Amino acid sequence: MDLIKNTFWNPKKHRIGFFAVVCATIILAFCPAFTQPYTTILLASILMYVIMSLAWTIFSGKTGYISLASAAFYGLGVYGEAILGSFIPLPLVMVLSAGLCFCVAFGIGAITLRLRGVYFTIFTFGLALLLQNFVLWFEIKFYHTKGRMVVPYEFRYVFYCILVVFVVSILVAMLMKQSGFGLALDCIGLNEDSAAHAGVNTTMYKILAFAISAAPVGAVGAAMATRVGYIDPGIAFNMLMSFMPVLMAIFGGTHNICGPILGAVALSMIEEILIRNYQEYYMIILGLIMVVAIILMPKGIVGMFTSVIEKRGKLVGGGAP
């Protein structure tokens, strides 16, 4: 009950952020009407990465528990659309996929979030591989096939479905940032033992945050499945979907909502340019960019700009406290 009471929306604290979300949503909503189909498809991919980076930051950015389970939840969403897409519309499949991922993450979190450090990271990495191999075995054993066809949708329709998930994800991240729930997660990230001694139910907060972060990933997986047409376990549970959100969040900065958004947009654009021009070498170049960025900007893009502004303010103020 205390968790529910402490997790609330304060309009005064979120007024500027809410206004920015409304403006961004309006601009994005009109983009398909004035841009080429390629641009709309590219925007959908960028929004997908933004959603996944935000979802990762909601849990891992605050608690310090590095999760590599994004590919597992993304794959569940993909298979949700592949199985149910012939019977029910895409928005409902996205809602059901989000609910499934929430429940799966809640159950897994209840079992594993007593682990700490690298043990939890290894488990989440193995979860995606486990689901990938289990689904492959299940498909071959009972359906005598490796993959499935997915019902296609018009690209603008898919874009608007992803846009809705994007808006919801940002609002949830803003809600958690200034709420008691977010404060509890920050305390866990700073010192979990101290948070527990202060009366924070650390296990329950971690489980809920992990489950909340899984839901949008499942929803966006269901939407993106319609763009592929054919899926199999290797496509659905691609491990890049676990690593890319982490890299994007770190590249942008994990201590601010703007960080994962900027990181996802920047790396998505860089990845698109490299794939189009240097397809054989783009992974090597992208890896080098990430290594250099982490060395030069350990706090991400947002952290770097914040540090520059603070230093400039001290210089202008003559070093006065």
Q: Is residue 292 part of a domain?
A: no
Q: Is residue 79 part of a domain?
A: yes
233 in Cβ contact with 133 (< 8 Å): yes
> What is the H or E stretch that residue 168 is in?
helix 155-177
User: How far apart are the C-alpha atoms of 92 and 233, rounded to whole Å?
Assistant: 22
Query: Over its length of 321 residues, how does the chain's per-residue pLDDT go in tens digits?
Result: 444 444 444 445 556 666 777 788 888 888 887 888 888 899 999 999 999 999 999 998 888 888 999 999 999 999 999 999 888 999 999 999 999 999 999 999 888 887 777 788 888 889 989 999 999 999 998 888 888 999 889 999 999 999 999 999 998 888 887 778 888 888 888 888 888 888 888 889 999 999 999 999 999 999 999 988 889 999 999 988 998 898 888 888 877 788 888 888 988 888 888 888 877 777 788 778 777 777 777 677 777 777 767 677 665 555 544
109 in Cβ contact with 207 (< 8 Å): yes
Q: Is residue 220 part of a domain?
A: yes
Structure tokens at 42: 């590219």
205 in Cβ contact with 181 (< 8 Å): yes
> What is the H or E stretch that residue 156 is in?
helix 155-177
pTM, two decimal places: 0.88
Q: What are the CB-based long-range contacts (under 8 Å, 24+) for 204-208?
A: 204/3, 205/3, 205/181, 206/59, 206/63, 206/65, 206/109, 206/113, 207/106, 207/109, 207/110, 207/113, 208/3, 208/106, 208/181
Q: Is residue 135 part of a domain?
A: yes
pLDDT for 229-281, tens place per residue?
889 999 999 988 998 898 888 888 877 788 888 888 988 888 888 888 877 77
Q: Is residue 209 part of a domain?
A: yes
Q: How many domains does the chain have?
A: 1
> What is the H or E stretch that residue 231 is in?
strand 230-231
Q: How many CB atoms lie within 10 A of CB 171?
A: 15
User: How far apart are the C-alpha atoms of 55 and 67, rounded to whole Å?
Assistant: 11
Q: Is residue 294 part of a domain?
A: no
Q: Is residue 320 part of a domain?
A: no
Q: Is residue 311 part of a domain?
A: no
Domain that holds residue 196: 2-239
**Residue listed under structure tokens 């874009």:** 159
